[in-house]
Chains A and B, each alone.
Chain A
């Protein structure tokens, strides 16, 4: 011990300073390593951040696509003067669409009287709407859920069908026609 103390004293000043610097750096690294193990979420946090970054990137991509679409009615079928969506655009628009306006709901209700009754009785209130892309069928499905008390009976009706047309407002897209027949 005494020997090592003496040999340390014999070291030149720059070597001592360098050793001290290396020691401080190791101490800092160790401190962060210990703190990260105690408070950090490590891989889980990195994975979450990666998912969030991917989601934001996907959302930006969809927003860019939507702003590039012409305003007006977009359809997935032939035989109209409206803008015809390509297969790729149809999928992208489906994935970007969240809203279902009243006329699309009223149209779907033509083939579902129970849903129409509950919808009307409850002041056109909708519990839930959904727009989903089906990877297996390569189709876009949209629908809504209405519930309420109809002549003393609590009822919940789900209406769903293929979303075949959309409205592009320039800011967002909306389901315009649900084919539920």
Chain B
């Protein structure tokens, strides 16, 4: 019984250590500078950091295929950027608070486009 408990605790420790080693700041300076951060779900951010926040130019890649390249402010997608959807659709333009806000162009994977003003992810007619 003691051996079993020891084995479970030891396995948990090894798993935690392995997880800790694969996440966090993997390259560069993730406090103030340029660095790469890997999250537990394998989302990655590579770009500029200011006061431990994503700030400046960077690229965030989600494991399910969403890729945002562009400006970050206070760790949010804000400024000019392009989002690649997993199916190949894209939105290129202005962002604020993590959403399509401002002028931008949405291009579907079949090439169809919609350009105009966007507010919180919705196209304004």
Contact = CB atoms under 8 A, between A and B. Distances in A.
Same complex origin of A and B: yes
Interface of A: 73, 75, 77, 79-80, 101-104, 106-107, 110-113, 116, 164-165, 167, 176-177, 179, 181
A103 B43 contact: yes
Given A79-B88, A113-B120, A165-B86, A177 B64 contact: yes
Interface string B56-83: 0000001111100000000000000001
A57 to B, nearest CB: 32
Contacts of A110: 83, 99-100, 121
Interface residues of B, number: 21
A79 B111 CA distance: 13
A14 B23 CA distance: 87
B41 interface: yes
Nearest to A162: B87
Given A79-B109, A177-B87, 10 more contacts: A80-B88, A101-B41, A102-B41, A107-B62, A110-B100, A111-B121, A165-B65, A165-B87, A179-B87, A181-B89
